[in-house]
Amino acid sequence: MNEVVLVTGASKGIGRAVALAFAQRGARLVLAARSQDRLAQVADEVEALGAEVLQVPADVTDPEAVAALVDAAASRFGRIDVLVNNAGIGKVGAVAEETFADNVRQTTEASLFGMIDVTRRVLPMLQKQGSGTIVNMSSVMGRKAFARFGSYTIVMHAVSAFSDSLRQEVAGSGVKVTVIHPALTATDLLKEADEAEMPPPFRYMRPLSADEVGQAVVKAVSSGRQRVVLPRRANLLLLGEALSPRIGDAIATALSTRRIARLMGMTGKTYHELLAR
Ligand X SMILES: NC(=O)c1ccc[n+]([C@@H]2O[C@H](COP(=O)([O-])OP(=O)(O)OC[C@H]3O[C@@H](n4cnc5c(N)ncnc54)[C@H](OP(=O)(O)O)[C@@H]3O)[C@@H](O)[C@H]2O)c1
Q: Among residues 88 and 150, whose Cβ is nearest to ligand X?
A: 88
User: In angstroms, what is the minimal distance from the CB of 135 to ligand X?
Assistant: 11
User: In angstroms, what is the minimal distance from the CB of 198 to ligand X?
Assistant: 11
Tell me how many residues contact ligand X (CB under 6 A).
31
Distance CA 213, CA 242 (A): 24
3-state SS, one letter per residue, for the chain: CCCEEEEECCCCHHHHHHHHHHHHCCCEEEEEECCHHHHHHHHHHHHHCCCCEEEEECCCCCHHHHHHHHHHHHHHHCCCCEEEECCCCCCCECCCCCCHHHHHHHHHHHHHHHHHHHHHHHHHHHHHHCCEEEEEECCHHHCCCCCCEHHHHHHHHHHHHHHHHHHHHCCCCCEEEEEEEECCECCHHHCCCCHHHCCHHHCCECCECHHHHHHHHHHHHHHCCCEEEECCCHHHHHHHHHHCHHHHHHHHHHHCCHHHHHHCCCECCCHHHHHHC
The yes-or-no answer on residue 152 being catalytic is yes
Q: Among residues 35 and 222, whose Cβ is nearest to ligand X?
A: 35
Distance CA 5, CA 114 (A): 17
User: In angstroms, what is the minimal distance from the CB of 60 to ligand X?
Assistant: 4
Distance CA 183, CA 231 (A): 7
Restricting to residues 9-38, name those near ligand X by CB under 6 A.
9-15, 33-35, 38
Q: Among residues 42 and 125, whose Cβ is nearest to ligand X?
A: 42
Q: Among residues 47 and 59, whose Cβ is nearest to ligand X?
A: 59
User: In angstroms, what is the minimal distance from the CB of 172 to ligand X?
Assistant: 28
Q: Among residues 113 and 173, whose Cβ is nearest to ligand X?
A: 113
Q: For ligand X, which residue of 51, 137, 193, 252 counts as binding (CB under 6 A)?
A: 137
**Which positions from 197 to 216 touch ligand X by CB under 6 A, shown as an x/- string?**
--------------------
Stretch of 47-55, 57-65, 161-169, 254-262 lying at the interface with ligand X (CB under 6 A) = 57-65
Nearest to 120 by CA among 77, 169, 75: 169
Residue 189 lies near ligand X (rule: CB under 6 A) = yes
Residue 119 lies near ligand X (rule: CB under 6 A) = no
Q: Among residues 12 and 206, whose Cβ is nearest to ligand X?
A: 12
Q: For ligand X, which residue of 182, 214, 240, 248 counts as binding (CB under 6 A)?
A: 182
Active-site residue, selected from the candidate residues 152, 162, 202, 271: 152
**Which positions from 224 to 263 touch ligand X by CB under 6 A, shown as an x/- string?**
----------------------------------------
Distance CA 149, CA 275 (A): 19
Site residues for ligand X per CB under 6 A: 8-15, 33-35, 38, 59-61, 86-90, 110-111, 114, 137, 139, 182, 184-185, 187-189
Q: Which residues are catalytic?
A: 152
